[in-house]
Structures are given as structure tokens and as C-alpha cells.
Amino acid sequence: MLANAWNALLRTLGGAASPAGPRGRLLVLIYHRVLREFDPLQPDEPDAGRFEQEIALLARNFAVLPLSEAVARLREGRLPARAACVTFDDGYANNVEVALPILLRHGVPATFFIAVGYLDGGVMFNDKVTELVRQAPGPALDLSEFGLGTLACGALDERRRTLGQLLKLVRYRSPAQRESLVERLLARTATALPRNVMMTADQVRSLRGAGMEIGAHTVTHPILTQVDLDAARSEMAAGKEQLEAIVRDRVRLFAYPNGRPGIDYGPEHVQLAREVGFQAAVSTATGTATEATDPYQIPRVRPWDRSLAAFGLRLVASYWGAEAPSVTAAAPGTA
């Protein structure tokens, strides 16, 4: 009885903020990993049980659409009430092994943005750093020789803080500097890396065969503002071309790595997304999209809530939120 009342409340509040038609708003969720079991070092990443509850709530109370269809309907002013999309970034193998069966069970479509350079045995820099912190013997990690000082690695909360600090220090270096530093750190600490973290090309094809959408996320996941424009263009175009060769179909959607407007990408990268041939792109700016939103800067919402009630409230509140930040797109031909 309470569950029925709760679902009815979500539908009523969501429908009031996002009715069908031109006043509709598009809510796009962003996931990365869906873990088999809870990882205390990464508490924001849902495990299978939590993810299934979230997807079941979405399927019951929202009109979940493929992203390409949702963007087209948003432009045309004909979204259904409480329109929503599900997206995944990076290309983790657990998206196929854990998330896909849940999505199919509930009839929920999703779009997977793949950093194609890590397929078939690669490991992204952030996962390398995570394993370094996880395996550090403690109580402290002495990285003074790298200019990073001594970082606490005793209790779980210390490891979480250290992981956040290291990722912040590493992320905004150029791709070559980032990879070099991380490899030196791994060698110094003798960290063992798993080799089945990211999807294989066959798994990407299996997603497409299951009716899911595939989007591009560059080749090596550089922060676009940290590389020159030619390198950014190459990363975006090559990521698209390589994915098209894998799925033997056009790839029309793009996700900016890290995705914060004005920090991780600029107006020149919005123009590049158009020139490379994408039809829409998503950022990580928090909010929902309206008919007036630039289709190359669709905002998204991170479902980091620990309880299902908080998750439902976040979705509804997102429809009522202020306009998401974006960057002013460059004029055609000026990128």
C-alpha cells in the first residue's frame, strides 16, 4: 500500500514538473560501474541489488527512452511526461555482465559511451590508482619521490580521502604525463592490476545486439581542455570511427570525458562534436534538458543516493531544478 502511494507521488510530482509535450524536460542518468558486490572503497558505485531497485523504480514511474530518440523528441517538443534516459560512461565489463541482464529484465534501454582504447584488456588510469590505494599496505603511502608527499592509508575513510586526492592530482595532467606518472606509481608500489575490468569488442557488439545504443567517449579519455585542438579532434573522430568498425553501424552520440562545461570541455569542443559528425552529446553538468537546451550539451544526473527513497526524490527534484550550466558554442568554422 505504501509502495503504491509512493509511486503515485513520484508520478504526480514528476508529471507536474515535466508534462508531455513542449514543456517536457529530459532527465538523463549517468552510471559508470555496476558492481556484483558493494565496494567500500567506492561507495557511490551501485552494486547489483541497488541498481536493480533503481531500474525497477525508473521502469514503473518514468518513460525511459533511448537517448537518440529522446533528444529527437525533445527538439520536436513531443517528449512523453517524465521522460528519462539511462547512460553509462567508459565501457566497464560489468555493464554487460551485471547491468545488462537487469536492464533487459525491466525493459529499460540504455546508451553506453565507450572509451575504445581500453577495450580488450586495458585498464583506465583511475582504476589503476584505485587498485594502488586498495592494495597499499598502510598505514601510510610514501610518494614523496613523486612530489606527492605521504598519504594516509590506514582506516577505510583515510583510503577514500587518499584515493580522491590522488585522482585529483593525476586527472588533469596531459594523457602522456598522466600515464607515465601512474605507471611509475604502480611500479613503485608493486600493485597488481586486474585485466578484465573493461569490455571486449565482442561485449560491445553484444550490447548493440541486445538493442542498446553505443556512443563514443574518445579513445584514451583525455580531459579535452588539457590537449591541443588537433589532439582533441583526433580523439573524438578516432573513437567514433573505431566503434563504428566494431558495431558495423553509425555512432551518433558522444560524451565529453569528465564532462564539466568550461572546465573539461569548452565551446571549441562542442563545435568539434558537430564537425566530427555526432548528432548529440552529453556533459556531466547536473540538471535536466529542455527544448531550449543545446543538444550537444545535454546535462545528466548522478544517482549516488544510498537509499531508494532518496533516489526517487532526486529524480523528481531534478525536473524542478534550475537550468544546467553549459558553454557558449563557437560559431561554425571557428573551432
CB neighbour class for 231 (10 Å; exposed up to 12, middle 13-18, buried from 19):
middle
Residue 227 lies in a domain: yes
Can you tell me the distance from the alpha carbon of 208 to that of 253, in angstroms, rounded to the nearest whole number? 14
Residue 60 lies in a domain: yes
CA-nearest of 152, 149, 172, 173 to 162 is 152
Whether residues 177 and 206 fall in one domain: no
Whether residues 41 and 154 fall in one domain: no
Whether residues 230 and 156 fall in one domain: no
CA-nearest of 295, 287, 288 to 253 is 295
Ramachandran angles phi, psi of 83, nearest 5°: -70, 140
Residue 44 lies in a domain: yes
- 9: helix, strand or coil: helix
Longest pairwise C-alpha distance within the chain:
61
Residue 83 lies in a domain: yes
Amino acid identity, position 229? L
Whether residues 253 and 292 fall in one domain: yes
Residue where a domain stops, chosen among 156, 189, 222: 189
CA-nearest of 26, 50, 43, 44 to 102 is 50
Whether residues 201 and 172 fall in one domain: no
Whether residues 31 and 156 fall in one domain: no
DSSP characters over 64-77? E--HHHHHHHHHHT
CA R_g for the chain = 20
Residue where a domain stops, chosen among 189, 204, 233: 189
- 309: helix, strand or coil: helix
Assign 3-state DSSP to the chain and report helix, strand, coil percentages, each to 5: 45, 15, 40
pLDDT tens digits, the chain, 335 residues: what are they? 678 888 999 999 999 999 999 999 999 999 999 999 999 999 999 999 999 999 999 999 999 999 999 999 999 999 999 999 999 999 999 999 999 999 999 999 999 999 999 999 999 999 999 999 999 988 998 988 888 889 999 999 999 999 999 999 888 888 888 999 999 999 988 899 988 999 999 999 999 999 999 999 999 999 999 999 999 999 999 999 999 999 999 999 999 999 999 999 999 999 999 999 999 999 999 999 999 999 999 999 998 888 999 999 999 999 998 888 899 855 444 44
**pLDDT (tens digit per residue) in 85-102:** 999 999 999 999 999 999
Residue 326 lies in a domain: no
- 82: helix, strand or coil: coil
Query: Position of cell 502511494?
Result: 5
Supply the CATH number for residue 117's domain. 3.20.20.370
Whether residues 201 and 151 fall in one domain: no
CB-CB neighbours of 163 under 10 Å:
21
CA-nearest of 14, 103, 19 to 66 is 103
Helices of type H across 172-256: 175-189, 201-209, 229-247
Residue 6 lies in a domain: yes
Residue 330 lies in a domain: no
CA-nearest of 67, 57, 107 to 87 is 67
Whether residues 15 and 93 fall in one domain: yes
Whether residues 8 and 40 fall in one domain: yes
* Nine-digit cell string for 15: 508529471
Position 173 scores a pLDDT of 86
Element (DSSP H or E) covering residue 284? strand 280-286
Residue 243 lies in a domain: yes
Residue where a domain stops, chosen among 141, 172, 189: 189
| Structural domain containing residue 280 | 2-121+196-320
Whether residues 298 and 256 fall in one domain: yes
Can you tell me the distance from the alpha carbon of 216 to that of 114, in angstroms, rounded to the nearest whole number? 5
* Nine-digit cell string for 43: 561507495
Q: In total, how many domains does the chain have?
A: 2
**pLDDT (tens digit per residue) in 21-59:** 999 999 999 999 999 999 999 999 999 999 999 999 999
Can you tell me the distance from the alpha carbon of 68 to that of 73, in angstroms, rounded to the nearest whole number? 9
* Nine-digit cell string for 187: 611500479
Beta strands at 150-152 and 140-142: parallel, antiparallel or unpaired: antiparallel
Whether residues 210 and 248 fall in one domain: yes
* Nine-digit cell string for 194: 586486474
Can you tell me the distance from the alpha carbon of 155 to that of 139, in angstroms, rounded to the nearest whole number? 8
Whether residues 116 and 130 fall in one domain: no
